[in-house]
Structure 1
Amino acid sequence: MTIDIAFKTPDALVFATDGLATVMEVDARGQERFLSNMANVEKLVPLSGGRLLAMFNGVGSIGSGTVATSLRAFDDRAPLGESESVGDYARRLHASLEAQALSRLGALPRPFHLILGGFSQQPEHGVDPPTLWSIQWSVDPSLPTTPTPILHTEEEGGAARHRFGVHYAGVTEAVARFVEGFDPALPERLAVLLAGTDAEDGPPGLLEQLAQEARRLESLAEPLSNAAARGLARRYARRVLRAGFFSAAQEPLSEHFSLQAAVDYCVFLAQCAYARENLSPTRRGAPRVGSTLQVAYLVPSRPAHVLAGIRLGVRLQGIDGGLP
């Protein structure tokens, strides 16, 4: 699985993604089996003469060639207009990709996640910050696929409100642990621990057990039904999760943060993901990230600059050139 990392500053974007594609097979029981790896798959694509950057993870094709091929074919027909916003381009791209997938495959291939970023037309004075957009086809078909803004909000009739820093997708566990300070799966596991699940044969959560225990001990009170105890447990579980234990404070971007620092930070976070997925002593199965890291940056009034590939990982070598 791929790691996609984007870093946004007021006047630059940096994208980094690894180029390894893992081919898996799913059996009748839903169990995945590793088949092969393909190295150096193109997953970071400059578009519209370098005014936009796109990177993606998930499926490798939406019915005709690679995803990179589909992106370039769309952009050749309808590049970013001179007065068009990145969001409007993202909505056009989203409609085209969905139409292509449905016409060729009959359904949206999942999972698929594309991150698009760039600068819209410059205003008369100064430079507007870049914008990032996400197009995602989740494994859950009930979730909407409409392009959504990343690190900014758009209010009708008002200017965009920008945030700056890192956004990441794909193999995110190690990156989230470093950036946010906790495993991103932790809130879900805590919710199950507190409130249980909807499974009929599933054990009750800790809060439901507490409610049941209170019902047994308090003989004067009106007894709680099982349904009421479950409802009470889930209300309190939501209150626990909303209490702020799992929300990192939004620190302002340092005024001294440079483009070079953004590039270095993206590479470092990719190395975190690589180490977690490939070097952990408890890892099972084939490596899930690796290959050459693809890195590019974008600044105003210049086409995107693609950096030389960076090989993730460390190889020990003795003074004589051999392994220790």
Structure 2
Amino acid sequence: MTIDIAFKTPDALVFATDGLATVMEVDGRGQERFLSNMANVEKLVPLSHDRLLAMFNGVGSIGGGTVATSLRAFDDRAPLREGESVGDYARRLHVELEAQALRKLGALPRPFHLIIGGFAPPPKEGVEPPTLWSIQWSVDPNIPTTPTPILHTEEDGSDIKHAFGVHYAGVTEAVARFVEGFDPALPEKLAVLLAGTDAEDAPPGLLEQLAQEARRTGTPSLPLSNADAQALSRRYARRVLRAAFFSPAQEPLSEHFSLQAAVDYCVFLAQCAYARENLSPTRRGAPRVGSTLQVAYVVPNRPAHVLASIKLGVRLQGIDGGLP
């Protein structure tokens, strides 16, 4: 699986994504089996005369060649218009991609996640920060696919409220551990531990056990039904998760954070993902991320700049050039 990393500052936008595609097959029991890797797949694409950047993860095609091919085909026909916002462009692109997938494949291939960003339209004065948008076809068909803003909010009748920092998608476990301080799967695991699940044969969660114990050993009062105890435990599980654990404070972006620092940080986070997925002693199966890292940035009033590809990983080499 791919790692996509975007870093937004008030006057720059940096994208980084790995170029490895993993081909899997799923057997009748739903078990995945590795087939092959394809290196250096194009997953970061400048669009609209290099005014926008797009990167993606998930499926490699939506029925018209590669995803990069589909993006360029749309952009050749309908590039970013004069005065058009990145959000409006993302909405047009979303409609076209869904129509293509339904026309050629009969369904939306999942999972699919596209991140697009840039500077548009030019502000009347000063420099307006870039905007980022997400188009996602989740494995859950009930989740809406409408483009959503990233690191900013848009409200009718009010100015855009920008946030700055990193956004990541795809293989996120190692990156989240470094940026947020915890494994992204941990809140769900803790919620199940505290509140249990809906399965008939599943044991009650710890909070429900506490409620039942209080009912048996506390001062006699009105009886608490099993359903009430379960509802109470789930309500408090949500409060525990929100209040005590997984709501990290948003630190303001350093005023000294430079474009070079943003590029270096994106590369570092990609290396974190590479190490977790490929170098962990407990890893099982074929490597899932790696290959060549594709990096690009865009700043106001200049075309997007694609950097030289970066090879992730370290190769042993002696002083004489040979392996030790």
TM-score, length basis structure 1: 0.99
In structure 1, the residue matched to 2:257 is 257
Instruction: Give me the whole-angstrom Cα distance separating, in 2, the residues matched to 1:117 and 1:72.
Output: 15
CA RMSD across the alignment: 0.8
Instruction: Tell me the secondary structure at the aligned position of residue 45 of structure 1.
Output: strand
CA contact (8 A) 2:83 2:122 kept: no
In structure 1, runs of 5+ residues without a counterpart are none
- AA matched with 2:259: L
CA contact (8 A) 2:174 2:273 kept: yes
Say whether 1:320 aligns with 2:285: no
Paired positions, count = 324
Within 5 Å, give how 1:1-324 maps onto structure 2: 1-218=1-218, 220-324=220-324
Give the deviation of 1:218 after TM superposition.
3.1
Instruction: Give me the whole-angstrom Cα distance separating, in 1, the residues matched to 2:38 and 2:268.
Output: 23
Instruction: Give me the whole-angstrom Cα distance separating, in 1, the residues matched to 2:244 and 2:12.
Output: 31
Instruction: Tell me the secondary structure at the aligned position of residue 50 of structure 1.
Output: coil
Following TM superposition, the consecutive aligned residue runs of length 4 or more in structure 1 with deviations greater than 2 angstroms are none
Instruction: Tell me the secondary structure at the aligned position of residue 166 of structure 2.
Output: strand
- AA matched with 2:168: Y
- AA matched with 1:266: C
In structure 2, runs of 5+ residues without a counterpart are none
Instruction: Tell me the secondary structure at the aligned position of residue 168 of structure 1.
Output: strand
Instruction: Give me the whole-angstrom Cα distance separating, in 2, the residues matched to 1:124 and 1:91.
Output: 24
Instruction: Give me the whole-angstrom Cα distance separating, in 1, the residues matched to 2:121 and 2:145.
Output: 26
Moved more, 207-216 or 296-305: 207-216
Give the deviation of 1:219 after TM superposition.
6.1
TM-score, length basis structure 2: 0.99
- AA matched with 2:112: F
Give the deviation of 1:101 after TM superposition.
0.4
Instruction: Give me the whole-angstrom Cα distance separating, in 2, the residues matched to 1:155 and 1:125.
Output: 22
Identity over aligned pairs, percent: 87
Moved more, 246-255 or 294-303: 246-255
Instruction: Give me the whole-angstrom Cα distance separating, in 2, the residues matched to 1:217 and 1:226.
Output: 16
Could you give the per-residue CA deviations for residues 119-163 of structure 1, whole angstroms, max 9, x where no partner exists?
A: 112122111100000000000111010000000000101110000
